[in-house]
Amino acid sequence: MLSLLASSAPLFRIGWLTRNRRARSLEARSVSHAAEQSVDDGPSTSGRTAEHSSAAADTPLATDGEDTIASLVTGGSRSGAVDIIRVSGSEAVQIAQRVFWPQGRFRFNWQPRSQRIYHGSAIDSSGRMIDEVLLLAMLRPRSYTREDVIELHTHGGGVCAQRVLRACIEAGARPARPGEFTLRAFLNGRMDLSQAENVLQLISARTATAADSALAGLAGGLGQLVSELRGDLLEILAELEARLDFDDDLPPMDVPALVEDITVLQRDIEAALRTSRQGNLLRQGLQVAIVGRPNVGKSSLMNSWTGTNRAIVTDIAGTTRDVLEAGLTVSGVPITLLDTAGIRSSCDTVEQLGVERSTAAAAAADVVVMVVDAAAGWTDDDGEIFDALWGRDGPGSSSCKVRGPALLVVNKSDLAGTKQLQLPLLAKETFQAVVQTSAVTRDGLPDLDAALLKLAGAPQLAAGGVSWSVNERQAEALIRAHEALGAVGESIAADVPLDCWTVDLRAALLALGEVSGEGVGEEVLDAVFSKFCIGK
């Protein structure tokens, strides 16, 4: 192979790959789409298409020879109208023939056709009817796992589904383990590992924006990028390894162009890594503590911000005695607001307990919002609260209890007139943003949303920008790939031997492969799929 490459001139023009990546990506997507169409489209009158579909069905799968598995794939709620049992594996059709009795005249030697729905009865091993069901057949490779898949739609309530599931297990299926259906989809090439992880993120999404981000990843966003990066690296590696044996037969290498190619690859990885914070916010959300002295409008702000009457609001100082929680969604990010008791010295035992809990809530929060009265300005009481939470020396000092970023809300702006808030120097340095609001008129709340997202590290979400994102496992692998490419650049600058460059390029390839699941070990797969629920 290398001799063939060496005989062609020029072998490869370094610098060409990054300029032509987009064109190659579009071509690859077109070829992939055409291949999927030929396999996944419905019945055709074309003999060639039918022949291709038959050949695809005979293609060996990685899970051939494994147990046929079955599980309830719906929640199993007693209030649900329908439950679904999924059976996947080489014996799925035979198991269906044992537990399903189709309605109509053609009952004997019944053979399901792919992508068809059948009405009939579910029966147990004795032939007794246990439910009236619908059966959906999805034969290989046109299924979620690319194996033969049978789904039995039973009546809800739990009892019927459990009886049908028991009948499937008695007929030869094994109970599925958590995430085993998606694991088989990955092993059989139905999706890469990053897409499989987005299945879990889609299931656990708490907001529509989080679901959209997971769907973008499931559509192959990160996997497509990694595939392009690996393709580019392989082209670079192919030339460098050819030059190790045939350098005299090849034209001089354009080293500056090679350095530029490596730099472009690093920038692409950096762009992917910047999505990590956005993804974490969409998955985990934010915990925001609202602190301040009594009667500055903390509870009113929480009620106005969430559009609820969660907190009791009175003119009596110290009304809030405990930490109250309320939830809202800001640009797709789930936010948990903690309305804390007004922090002040008190002889009231109950109120003092509330103050202690307020301090603890502020210390544990992702973001702390301190509220002051715009009409009253910064008071000595506000200063005492600041010292109690951030210490007299501010963030980073041994007396600082707050670990997250801080935001100052100047509430009751409708009562302040033209009065300007004057802050102590340390407070100015501590609060990364200052927002004017009015809980009564709701003025300033959009600015508060935007400031919160900026502090959290995902300002693009405020503008509605959302796409796929990388999780912690993927980010760790991308960081290693980036470091390996950096080592290549350092080797080039230090004029070390060419074979040292290839060592780091291979390390980058391996790290990128971990993102999409190429060459990963069982311990990685176990860690990923153990987080799934049974049935997915």
The pLDDT confidence band at residue 307, using thresholds 50, 70 and 90, is confident
Residue 420 pLDDT > 90, yes or no? no
- Residue 150 region by backbone torsions, left for phi larger than 0, else alpha for psi between -120 and 50, else beta: beta
* pLDDT higher than 70, residue 278: yes
Q: Residue 280: which of 473, 118, 516 has the closest Cα?
A: 473
Burial 77-102 (b: 16+ CB within 10 A, else e): eeeeeebbbbbbbbbbbebbbbbbeb
- 21-40 and 47-58 are packed helices; what angle lies between their axes, rounded to 10 degrees? 90
Task: Return d(Cα 226, Cα 461) in angstroms, integer.
Answer: 24
- Residue 318 tokens read as 């110290």
Position 525 pLDDT exceeds 60: yes
Categorise residue 396: left if φ over 0, alpha if ψ from -120 to 50, beta otherwise: left
Range with the largest mean pLDDT of 119-123, 197-201, 271-275, 526-530: 119-123
The residue with tokens 């007299």 is 392
Alpha-carbon gap, residue 98 to 108, rounded angstroms: 12
Asked if the model's pLDDT at residue 52 lies above 50, the reply is no
Ramachandran class of 517: left when φ > 0, alpha when ψ lies in -120 to 50, beta otherwise: left
In the predicted model, is pLDDT for residue 26 greater than 60? no
User: For the ranges 85-94, 269-278, 320-329, which has the lowest average pLDDT?
Assistant: 320-329
Whether pLDDT at 120 is above 50: yes
Give the mean model confidence (pLDDT) for residues 216-242: 88
> Of 404, 399, 393, whose CA–CA distance to 426 is shortest?
393
> For residue 499, what pLDDT is reported?
78
Mean pLDDT score, 409-437:
87
Banded pLDDT at 320 (limits 50, 70, 90): very low
Q: Give the pLDDT of residue 317.
A: 45
C-alpha to C-alpha distance for 477 and 496, rounded to whole angstroms = 26
484, pLDDT greater than 90? yes
- Model pLDDT, residue 34: 40
- Confidence class for position 89, pLDDT limits 50, 70, 90: very high
pLDDT, mean over the chain: 81
Coil, strand, or helix at residue 449? helix
Model confidence pLDDT, tens digit, residues 206-219: 888 888 888 888 88
Residue 402 CA to residue 404 CA, distance in Å, equals 6
pLDDT of residue 41: 41
CB 340 within 8 A of CB 323: yes
Tokens of 432: 């990364």
Asked whether the predicted pLDDT for residue 360 surpasses 60, the reply is yes
- Which pLDDT band, with edges at 50, 70 and 90, does 388 fall under? confident
pLDDT digits (tens, 9 = 90+) for 56-69: 667 899 999 999 99
Percent of the chain residues past pLDDT 70, beyond the cut: 80
Residue 67: its pLDDT value, please?
Answer: 94
7-27 average pLDDT score: 44
The answer on pLDDT for 50 being more than 60 is: no
Residues 6+ apart with CB under 8 A from 317: 294, 295, 342
Count the residues in the chain. 536
Does the model's pTM come out above 0.85?
no
End-to-end alpha carbon distance in the chain: 43
Instruction: State the pLDDT at residue 76.
Output: 61
Higher pLDDT, 397 or 485: 485
Helix (H, G, I), strand (E, B) or coil at 406: strand
Written as one letter, the residue type at 362 is: A
Whether the pLDDT of residue 20 is over 60: the answer is no
User: Helices (DSSP H) in 8-46: which residue ranges?
Assistant: 16-19, 21-40
Given this model, what pLDDT does residue 23 score?
43
Candidate from 100-109, 336-345, 520-529 with smallest mean pLDDT? 336-345
pLDDT of residue 331: 83
What pLDDT is recorded for position 318? 46
Give the 3-state secondary structure percentages of the chain, helix then strand then coil, rounded to 5. Answer: 50, 15, 35
> From residue 92, how far is each of 89, 143, 495 by CA, in Å?
5, 12, 60
- Rounded CA-CA distance 497/243 in Å is 12
Q: What is the pLDDT of residue 72?
A: 93
Does the pLDDT at position 43 exceed 70?
Answer: no
Picking from 98-107, 266-275, 308-317, which range would have the lowest pLDDT averaged per residue?
308-317
Residues facing 116 on adjacent strands: 137
pLDDT tens digit string along 156-166?
A: 888 999 999 99
Residue by residue, DSSP assigns 174-228 as: EEPPTTHHHHHHHHTTSS-HHHHHHHHHHHT--SHHHHHHHHHHHTTHHHHHHHH
More confident residue, 25 or 187: 187
Residue labelled with tokens 């009564």: 440
Residue 118 clears pLDDT 90, i.e. is over it:
yes
Is 117's pLDDT higher than 90?
A: yes
138 forms bridges with which residues in the sheet?
149
pLDDT mean over 348-356: 61
Between CA 366 and CA 456 the distance in angstroms is 8
Rounded to the nearest 5°, which phi and psi values hold at 500? -70, -30
Segment of 28-42, 168-182, 334-348 carrying the highest mean pLDDT = 168-182
Site of tokens 């210490």: 391
- In this prediction, residue 252 has a pLDDT band, given cuts at 50, 70 and 90, of confident
Spatial separation of the C-alpha atoms in residues 294 and 315, rounded to whole Å: 10
Name the region of 330 (left: φ>0; alpha: ψ -120 to 50; beta: rest): beta
Q: Is the peptide bond before 178 cis (omega within 30 degrees of 0)?
A: no
- Provide the percentage of residues in the chain whose pLDDT is more than 90: 35
| Segment 232-246 mean pLDDT | 83
CA distances from 521 to 94, 114, 193, 517 (A): 33, 34, 12, 9
